[in-house]
């Protein structure tokens, strides 16, 4: 990735000796944008990040896993700022060009002695080939790293977008995912980058659910350093750039859902025929968050009544008599009536697939929306019951 270096090391923050301290470094100041959690209980790095990002330029992001630095009071703020100062000295860059981010257990103070020794080490480990190490260092209950790379061309000049994310549980993003980092080599203003990021997020991270919980640390970062010489300055170049950014964010979002804690299936619920866009969103979101729907899908049971009931409690305007429901192309309900056991048997076969599309047509208007979610297994309970053990 032109102009970017990455690193990830085991600093001893986690007990299992896995990588737990990561760093993204840009060789020049980059235009920057970020979206943060809407949870009112927020981590110290989120509070600091909201202020730091206002400058519009960032050069480094320090990330730790194993500790969220949330609900840690004044000491948590001081510790996060101490990390910024230490990294500033190690890299030789300004403090207000540094973002910090944390993920892990809530309420425990940062083990600052690990950062004192770890920050110089992670700086020393920076490399253009360090992307995999960085991606590994930000994981918590994730079973796999999540990296997506896409390229595009504007005026026959290639550009690249690389996205890295972590997230497996505590996923009901109002804005982003648990943590995501988008590195871009185009030249773009921070204001336009923020608008493009918001558009991409709305189609991807804000349309996923694993368990219906919004994290205290959710953040989506984007850095653009201009190293490719591609300049996003008009509507045509913005359109091309937006398409590639959308693809990166959507694929990262899907990777998070596939890796959902205890998940065995990825489902997309498509809601169409709604009177308003808001109604379509409400119905899709309610179905995606329904534990009854999620457990039925895990059991490969096409329990369509759970889906229609979730739509009915969504707060959207609906009419049961006009509803149609499809698992892939197999209709289960039309004009508000069940199509019988044979249709249900065919739908049950489709539920054996790892990825499934479900469509609910309200037949009341022209608006549509979607959500991407996973099923709910007993392993989710086991993982979260043992999380702090």
At 322, which CATH number? 3.10.20.340
Name the least confident of 38-42, 168-172, 219-223, 287-291.
Answer: 168-172
**Structure pTM?**
0.93
Same domain, 348 and 377: yes
Same domain, 210 and 295: no
- Structure-token match 């730091």, residue found: 52
Q: What confidence score (pLDDT) does residue 389 get?
A: 54
Domain of 61, in residue numbers: 4-258
Catalytic residues: 177
Same domain, 274 and 379: yes
One DSSP character per residue, 225-285 reads: --TT--B--SHHHHHHHHHHHHHHHHHHHHHHHHT-TT---EEEEEEEEESSHHHHHHHHH
Mean local confidence (pLDDT), 23-38: 96
Same domain, 194 and 328: no
Q: Which residues make Cβ contacts (< 8 Å) with residue 3, sequence separation at least 6?
A: 26, 27, 28, 30, 185, 225, 226, 227
Q: Of the candidates 258, 281, 312, which is a domain's last residue?
A: 258
Measure the CA–CA gap between 271 and 113, rounded to whole angstroms. 51
Q: What is the pLDDT of residues 98-156, one digit of tens each?
A: 999 999 999 999 999 999 999 999 999 999 999 999 999 999 989 999 999 999 999 99
Same domain, 234 and 298: no
Mean local confidence (pLDDT), 201-220: 90
Q: Which residues make Cβ contacts (< 8 Å) with residue 337, sequence separation at least 6?
A: none
Mean local confidence (pLDDT), 184-190: 98
Q: What confidence score (pLDDT) does residue 386 get?
A: 81
One DSSP character per residue, 131-152 reads: HHHHHHHT-SS-SS-EEEEEEE
**Is the pLDDT confidence value at 367 over 90?**
yes
Same domain, 305 and 209: no
Q: What confidence score (pLDDT) does residue 265 get?
A: 97
Provide the pLDDT confidence category of residue 254 given band limits of 50, 70 and 90.
very high
Q: Of the candidates 204, 237, 258, which is a domain's last residue?
A: 258
**Is the pLDDT confidence value at 176 over 80?**
no
Mean local confidence (pLDDT), 160-165: 98
Mean pLDDT, the chain, rounded, equals 95
Measure the CA–CA gap between 132 and 167, rounded to whole angstroms. 16
Same domain, 24 and 141: yes
What is the tally of structural domains in the chain?
Answer: 2
Same domain, 176 and 254: yes
Mean local confidence (pLDDT), 57-73: 97
**CATH code assigned at 102:** 3.60.70.12
Same domain, 331 and 236: no
Q: What confidence score (pLDDT) does residue 380 get?
A: 85
Q: Of the candidates 241, 258, 275, which is a domain's last residue?
A: 258
One DSSP character per residue, 289-300 reads: H-HHHHHHHHTT
Q: What confidence score (pLDDT) does residue 177 get?
A: 55
Mean local confidence (pLDDT), 16-37: 96
Same domain, 94 and 206: yes
Same domain, 26 and 142: yes
**Is the pLDDT confidence value at 175 over 80?**
no
Structural contact between residues 220 and 176, judged by C-beta atoms closer than 8 angstroms: yes
Same domain, 228 and 270: no
DSSP for residue 364: S
Closest to 279 (Cα-Cα) out of 219, 319, 332, 238: 319
């Amino acid at each position: 990735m032109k102009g970017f270096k990455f690193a990830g090391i085991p600093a001893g923050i986690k007990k299992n000796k896995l990588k737990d301290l990561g760093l993204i470094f840009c060789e020049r100041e980059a235009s920057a944008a970020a979206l943060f959690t809407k949870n009112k209980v927020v981590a110290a790095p989120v509070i600091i990040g909201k202020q730091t990002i206002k400058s519009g330029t960032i050069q480094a992001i320090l990330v730790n896993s194993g500790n969220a630095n949330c609900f840690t009071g004044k000491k948590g703020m001081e510790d996060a700022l101490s990390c910024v100062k230490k990294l500033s000295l190690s890299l030789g860059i300004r403090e207000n060009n540094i973002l910090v981010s944390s993920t892990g257990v809530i309420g425990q103070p940062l083990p600052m002695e690990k950062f004192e020794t770890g920050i110089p080490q992670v700086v020393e480990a920076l490399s253009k080939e360090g992307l995999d190490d960085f991606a590994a260092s930000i994981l918590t209950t994730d079973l796999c790293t999540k990296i997506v790379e896409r390229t595009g061309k504007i005026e026959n000049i290639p550009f690249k977008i690389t996205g890295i994310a972590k997230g497996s549980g505590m996923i009901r993003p109002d804005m982003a995912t648990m943590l995501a980092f988008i590195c871009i080599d185009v030249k773009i203003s921070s204001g336009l980058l923020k608008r493009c990021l918001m558009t991409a997020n709305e189609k991807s991270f804000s349309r996923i659910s694993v368990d219906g919980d919004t994290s205290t640390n959710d953040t989506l970062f984007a850095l653009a350093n201009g190293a490719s010489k591609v300049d996003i300055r008009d509507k045509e170049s913005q359109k091309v750039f937006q398409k590639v950014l959308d693809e990166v964010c959507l694929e990262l979002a899907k990777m998070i859902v596939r890796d959902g804690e205890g998940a065995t299936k990825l489902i997309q619920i498509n809601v169409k025929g709604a009177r308003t866009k808001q109604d379509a969103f409400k119905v899709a979101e309610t179905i995606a968050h329904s534990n009854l729907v999620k457990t039925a899908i895990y059991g490969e049971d096409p329990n369509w009544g759970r889906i229609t009931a979730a739509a009915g409690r969504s707060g959207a305007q609906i009419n049961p008599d006009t509803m149609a429901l499809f698992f892939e192309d197999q209709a289960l309900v039309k004009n508000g009536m069940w199509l019988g056991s044979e249709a249900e048997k065919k739908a049950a076969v489709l539920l054996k697939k790892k990825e499934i599309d479900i469509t609910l047509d309200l037949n009341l208007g022209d608006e549509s929306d979607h959500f991407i979610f996973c099923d709910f297994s007993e392993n989710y309970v086991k993982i979260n019951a043992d999380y702090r053990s």
